[in-house]
């Protein structure tokens, strides 16, 4: 799915982070890292990665707990799966490849990691595009009946271990199909080779627990970090572009632009003709948006 890309493994504090990279022929071209969401891997970018390499050094990586990256043990506070820790993973991968400053394109969980990366390490992030999320704190605080029913997994995965692990562990692929297939476009939108990759990784030892820990962190330590930002007036300082699927859950349930304007100094908003899985449902629309946004100051 990623012709011309080279696989890599970077280890940070004992956690192996897997991904792929394709460098631009111009060493001075800007760099971009692409961060996937739940319950997927970096394979979500298979439609858009190659076209992006015409303009950027492109790095794809599996978040810790997902894909072929390690699934480290957690703790009572779920700190190893905090978005702050995951953001440090991204920073380490990019520095390993020689990129001290770069663009970030993140979907779903990857977008939440990107948000934390931009707040904690503003010197490293040039421009940021986030796909189909509102700020985590705002989404939890603004939960409605409609949102809770649509995003039921947010509240199921955070239950104390081992309940969700036991239930999902009985058939992780069935869980993956249920979550992905119940959205706007169904399972048919996913390329067979990408779906097989998601299924393969869902069956890896430790995946289910790591996935739950990601969400437990989001409902706990991540909210503490977000509240501290709000209290201190810390915002994203980079230009921020947010895209939501017109037929998804976030766009109709939240005032996405207003919420991001509270958390970022420069935020703009748009929609794509898709549901949640924008990179796979509307890749051309995403490419058009990404190139217009990221090349605005890169030329």
Task: Cite the active site residues.
Answer: 108, 276
First to last CA, the chain: 28
Angle CA 260–264–266, to nearest 5: 105
DSSP state of 189: G
User: Which tokens in the block code for residue 74?
Assistant: 């957690």
Q: Which residue has the tokens 């022929």?
A: 25
CB distance 40 to 214 below 8 Å: no
CB distance 35 to 106 below 8 Å: yes
Residue 26 has a CB neighbour count (10 Å cut-off) of 10
Residue 288 CA to chain centroid, in angstroms? 19
What are the respective helix, strand and coil percentages of the chain, to the nearest 5?
Answer: 45, 20, 35
Residue 224 has a CB neighbour count (10 Å cut-off) of 13
Phi, psi of 219 (to 5 degrees): -90, 0
CA distance 10 to 130: 24
User: Quick one: which of 80, 122, 121, 125 has its CA closest to 102?
Assistant: 125
Q: The dihedral of CA 61, 66, 69, 71: what is its sign?
A: positive
């Amino acid at each position: 799915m990623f012709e011309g890309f080279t696989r890599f493994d970077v280890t940070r504090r004992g956690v192996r982070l897997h991904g792929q990279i394709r460098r631009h022929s111009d060493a001075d071209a800007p760099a971009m890292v692409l961060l996937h969401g739940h319950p997927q891997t970096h394979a979500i970018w298979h439609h858009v990665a190659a076209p992006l390499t015409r303009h950027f050094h492109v790095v794809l990586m599996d978040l810790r707990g997902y894909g072929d990256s390690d699934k480290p043990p957690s703790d009572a506070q779920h700190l190893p799966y905090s978005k702050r820790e995951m953001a440090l993973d991204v920073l380490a991968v990019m520095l390993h490849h020689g990129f001290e400053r770069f663009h970030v394109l993140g979907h779903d969980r990857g977008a939440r990691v990107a948000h934390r990366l931009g707040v904690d390490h503003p010197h490293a992030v040039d421009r940021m595009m986030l796909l189909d999320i509102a700020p985590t704190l705002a989404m939890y605080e603004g939960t409605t009946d409609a949102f809770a029913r649509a995003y039921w997994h947010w509240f199921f995965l955070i239950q104390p271990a081992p309940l969700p692990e036991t239930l999902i562990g009985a058939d992780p692929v069935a869980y993956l199909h249920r979550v992905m297939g119940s959205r706007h476009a169904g399972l048919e939108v996913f390329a067979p080779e990408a779906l097989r990759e998601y299924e393969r990784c869902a069956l890896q030892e430790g995946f289910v627990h790591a996935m739950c820990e990601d969400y437990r962190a989001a409902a706990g330590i991540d909210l503490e970090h977000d509240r501290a930002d709000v209290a201190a007036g810390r915002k994203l300082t980079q230009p921020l572009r947010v895209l939501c699927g017109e037929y998804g859950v976030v766009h109709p349930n939240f005032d996405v632009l207003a919420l991001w304007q509270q958390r970022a100094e420069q935020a703009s908003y748009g929609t794509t003709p898709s549901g949640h899985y924008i990179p796979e449902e509307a890749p051309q629309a995403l490419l058009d948006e990404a190139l217009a946004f990221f090349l605005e100051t890169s030329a």
